[in-house]
């Protein structure tokens, strides 16, 4: 790791110590709250989260590793997109690959399309079943519309189904009621052309509110290793809206949707076999949208929700193109049984169809995933000890076969008093193989051997099993006085059936031009791994107008595979995860109108491929009137050429530049 990291860390810690006295009133933000005084640390521990058990729970009473990124956290970080905001959460690996691609995962196995973490937006999955993962460039959520992000580390498959293996990122947007009036925003920086957004919220009476919004962004190229501009410029435009209708004392209906379009370029690895010296840049484009409807009914002792969504994802890259259409129906009910049992049950059906995807043995396929869950929280000692048991049965239908899976969990919570909580959990989760892993047909050229042409052939395996995780977790939370909170979580994960590419026996093929050697590869669920780690976060309010937040994660892994197989990619290279990540942030409301925020982000090396690095960000903001804010700052203050991740497949990683930015937001 670079020696400069410690210098930057000390500089950041020094920034934290700058505030020297309490001021009579802290600065508010552009939403009109009271800045850092809006919620005390004691109140923050009572913030309700909904994504762990699909019901309202106080954060301090959740038997899982959860971190909440609030709207104020996002605003003060200077983040203009969700990936930037996720750097704040412990146990979440965030690395920018190019101007338009990110690698984001929980507890390891990071990659461009990380396949073991489920991302939700208002309960709607944006996990791509064709590739297994999330395309962050085509799933933009305007940061001004976000109420909070609930980051769950560890399995959540019992409640949310397949692919919620190592974690869940649940993005919860503001209601239309909370986004009334006209809001305009603009961002300008060294790394992007002016980014503009507009939102208008209105209402009809007291029971119906709506909003409409649009956003456009265009990022300039990042840097190559020699400091010249990289070929990764891109742009994105989107527009959508939301309607919230309370049509009775018990019932609400939410309808929202979005359309988007964008594209750009990706720099290609000249060593990638399919490139064959033809092009240096891969142009790509994406377009699509979604519509979602959710009906909720709340009764005296129970509540239920029914959600229906349809998503169209179109993507065209040099290597493949096509559309994926997904329909998802989800139902859940929550009610109490007596004084000790809190019961949830529900089910969902997910159906998707592809149109025109290239490089697959079979195109225009139809597949489905159906499942149901039950979960009960039982108070062993009311107010002190509770145990939660849950079970999901699901069936993944593909290639004409059914693949049933069982995903159970048991969680125990002990709260000896109002300030302490101890929890433990054992869970099983499954990552279903992607269509690419099951159905690929990819020929590529290889160097000739003794004058005989050689061709590679990577094919999918229709009999792949699901990747399985058995996770053991434990944690401890404590509120120390009125000024400090502490959260500790540890885990041990055991993986089986990890999918890897393996070499098969070469063979001769007679062609019109003579003999040719075929070197085949395929996918096999033969890998295994054990991972373990520790995650710590804390928040400290030394004064009413000062807050310091710390997040740290340590994790390690060991891999195994049958010795009879020759792996195309060594197991350790699928890890791509730093062993240590630390983030220290400070927020200081200097006066009623001025605020200063700083952060230090340190990452150790991804062994043999990406050197360790540090990052220091500084932001200054001034409140203007009751509805506006102007801010500016610098990201990567001490480094003008920083590599965060290794290139994958045909994409070469770019280097991040030092980035000065200015942002204005105004609400009318």
Query: In 338-466, which ranges are E strands?
Result: 341-355, 366-381, 385-398, 401-417, 420-431, 441-449, 452-459
Q: What angle do CA 195, 197, 200 make, to 5 degrees?
A: 175
pLDDT of 244 > 50? The answer is yes
Tell me the per-residue pLDDT of 48-65, one tens digit each, with 9 for 90 and over. Answer: 899 999 999 998 899 999
Which range, 231-240, 261-270, 456-465, is most confident? 231-240
DSSP strand pairing (659-667 vs 655-656):
unpaired
42-46, 53-57, 116-120, 215-219: least confident range? 42-46
pLDDT at residue 663 greater than cutoff 50: yes
Q: Determine the pLDDT at residue 181.
A: 94
In this predicted structure, the answer to whether residue 396 has a pLDDT above a threshold of 80 is: yes
Residue 115, helix vs strand vs coil: coil
Please choose, from the candidates 105, 162, 134, the residue with its C-alpha nearest in 3D space to the C-alpha of residue 555.
105
pLDDT of residue 237: 95
pLDDT, tens digit (0-9, with 9 covering 90-100), for 603-627: 999 877 899 999 999 999 999 987 7
pLDDT-wise least confident of 236-245, 276-285, 477-486, 584-593: 276-285
Q: Which residues, in sequence order, are CB contacts of 295 under 8 Å at separation 6+?
A: 251, 252, 253, 305, 306, 307
What is the rounded average pLDDT for all residues in the chain? 87
Handedness of CA 134, 137, 142, 143 (dihedral sign): positive
> Looking at the predicted structure, is the pLDDT value of residue 25 above 60?
no
pLDDT of 1: 41
Query: Which tens digit of pLDDT belongs to each residue from 437-487?
Result: 888 888 887 888 888 888 888 898 988 999 999 999 999 999 998 889 999
- Report the pLDDT averaged over residues 2-19: 41
Provide the pLDDT for residue 163: 94
Q: How far apart are CA 466 and CA 498, in angstroms?
A: 8
Give the mean pLDDT of 558-582: 71
- What's the CA angle centered on 218, arms 213 and 222, to 5 degrees? 145
Residue 21: its pLDDT value, please?
39
* Three-state SS annotation for 520-587: EEEEEEEEEEEEEEEEEEEEEEEECCEEEEEEEEEEEEEEECCCCCCECCCHHHHCCCCCEEEEEEEE
Higher pLDDT, 593 or 513: 593
Interacting residues of 214 by C-beta distance below 8 A, sequence separation 6+: 197, 198, 199, 237, 238, 239, 240
Indicate the pLDDT class of residue 570, thresholds 50, 70 and 90.
low
Residue 72, classed as helix, strand or coil, is helix
**Residue 566: what pLDDT?**
55
The more confident residue out of 565 and 516 is 516
| Residue-by-residue DSSP string for 151-208 | EEES--HHHH-TT-SSEEEEEEEPPGGGG-EEEEEEEEESSBSPEEEEEEEEEETTTE
At 19, the pLDDT band (50, 70, 90 cuts) reads very low
Gap between the Cα atoms of 444 and 501, Å rounded: 15
pLDDT classification of 18: cutoffs 50, 70, 90? very low
Cα(551)–Cα(549) distance, integer angstroms:
7
Q: Indicate if the pLDDT at residue 285 is higher than 80.
A: yes
pLDDT at 482: 83
| pLDDT per position as a tens digit, 290-346 | 999 999 999 888 999 999 999 999 998 877 778 899 999 999 999 999 899 999 999
Per-residue model confidence (pLDDT) at position 320: 73
Look up the CATH architecture of domain 4-179+319-636.
Answer: Beta Barrel (2.40)
pLDDT score for 561: 60
Q: CA nearest 153: which of 112, 104, 113, 111? A: 104
- What is the Cα–Cα distance from 335 to 55, expressed in whole angstroms? 10
Residue whose tokens read 């139809």: 366
- Quick one: pLDDT at residue 443? 84
Is the pLDDT at 10 greater than 50? The verdict is: no
Please report which confidence band the pLDDT of residue 275 belongs to, taking 50, 70 and 90 as the band edges: low
Strands 167-173, 117-121: pairing is parallel
- pLDDT at residue number 7: 34
- Count the residues in the chain: 668
């Amino acid at each position: 790791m670079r020696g400069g990291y410690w210098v930057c860390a000390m500089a950041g810690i020094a920034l934290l110590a700058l505030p020297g006295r309490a001021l009579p009133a802290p600065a508010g933000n552009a939403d009109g709250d009271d800045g850092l005084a809006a919620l005390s640390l004691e109140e923050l521990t009572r913030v309700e989260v909904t994504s762990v058990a699909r019901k309202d729970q106080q954060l301090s009473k959740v038997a899982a590793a959860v971190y909440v990124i609030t709207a104020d956290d996002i605003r003060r970080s200077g983040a203009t997109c969700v990936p930037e905001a996720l750097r704040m959460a412990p146990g979440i690996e965030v690395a920018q690959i190019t101007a338009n691609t990110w690698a984001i995962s929980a507890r390891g196995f990071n990659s461009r399309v990380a396949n073991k973490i489920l991302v939700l937006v208002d309960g709607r999955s944006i996990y791509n079943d064709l590739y297994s993962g999330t395309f962050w460039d085509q799933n933009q959520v305007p940061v001004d519309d976000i109420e909070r992000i609930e980051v769950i580390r560890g399995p959540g498959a019992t409640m949310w189904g397949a692919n919620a293996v190592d974690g869940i990122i649940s993005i919860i947007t503001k209601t239309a009621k909370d986004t009334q009036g006209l809001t305009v925003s603009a961002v300008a920086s060294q790394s992007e052309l002016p980014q503009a957004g507009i939102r208008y919220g209105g209402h009809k009476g007291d029971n119906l509110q709506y909003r409409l919004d649009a956003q456009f962004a265009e990022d300039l190229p990042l840097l190559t290793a020699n400091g010249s501009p990289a070929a990764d410029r891109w742009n994105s435009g989107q527009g959508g809206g939301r309607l919230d209708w309370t049509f009775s004392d018990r019932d609400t209906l939410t309808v929202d949707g979005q359309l988007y379009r964008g594209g750009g370029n990706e720099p290609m690895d000249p060593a990638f076999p399919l490139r064959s010296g033809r092009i240096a840049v891969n142009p790509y484009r994406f377009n699509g949208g979604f519509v979602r409807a959710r009906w909720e009914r709340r009764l005296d002792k129970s509540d239920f929700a029914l959600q229906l969504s349809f998503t169209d994802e179109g993507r065209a890259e040099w290597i493949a193109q096509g559309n994926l259409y997904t329909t998802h129906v989800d139902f859940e009910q929550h009610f109490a049984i007596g004084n000790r049992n809190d019961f949830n049950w529900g089910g969902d059906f997910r159906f998707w169809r592809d149109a025109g995807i290239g490089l697959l043995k079979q195109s225009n396929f139809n597949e489905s995933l159906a499942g149901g869950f039950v979960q009960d929280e039982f108070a062993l000692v009311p107010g002190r000890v509770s145990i939660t048991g849950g079970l999901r049965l699901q069936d993944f239908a593909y290639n004409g076969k059914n693949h049933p899976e069982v995903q159970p969990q048991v969680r125990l919570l002990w709260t000896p008093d109002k300030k302490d909580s101890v929890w433990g959990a054992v869970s099983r989760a499954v990552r279903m193989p992607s269509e690419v892993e099951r159905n690929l047909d990819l020929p590529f050229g290889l160097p000739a051997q003794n004058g005989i042409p050689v061709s590679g052939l990577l094919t999918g395996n229709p009999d792949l099993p699901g990747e399985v995780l058995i996770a053991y977790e434990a944690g401890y939370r404590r509120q120390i006085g009125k000024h400090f909170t502490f959260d500790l979580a540890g885990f041990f994960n055991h993986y089986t059936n990890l999918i890897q590419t393996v070499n098969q026996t070469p063979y001769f093929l007679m062609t019109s031009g003579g003999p040719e050697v075929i070197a085949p590869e395929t996918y096999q669920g033969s890998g295994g791994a054990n991972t373990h780690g520790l995650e710590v976060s804390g928040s400290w309010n030394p004064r009413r107008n000062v807050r310091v937040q710390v997040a740290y994660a340590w994790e390690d892994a060991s891999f195994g595979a049958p010795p009879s197989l020759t792996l195309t990619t060594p197991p350790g290279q699928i890890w791509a995860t730093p062993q240590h990540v630390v983030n220290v942030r400070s927020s200081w409301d200097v006066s009623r109108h001025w605020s200063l925020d700083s952060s230090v982000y340190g990452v150790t090396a991804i062994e043999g491929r990406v050197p360790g690095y540090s990052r220091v960000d500084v932001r200054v903001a001034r409140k203007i009137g009751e509805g506006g804010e102007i801010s500016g700052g610098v990201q990567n203050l001490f480094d003008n050429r920083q590599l965060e991740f290794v290139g994958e497949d045909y994409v070469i990683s770019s280097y991040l530049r030092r980035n000065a930015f200015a942002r204005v937001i105004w609400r009318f």
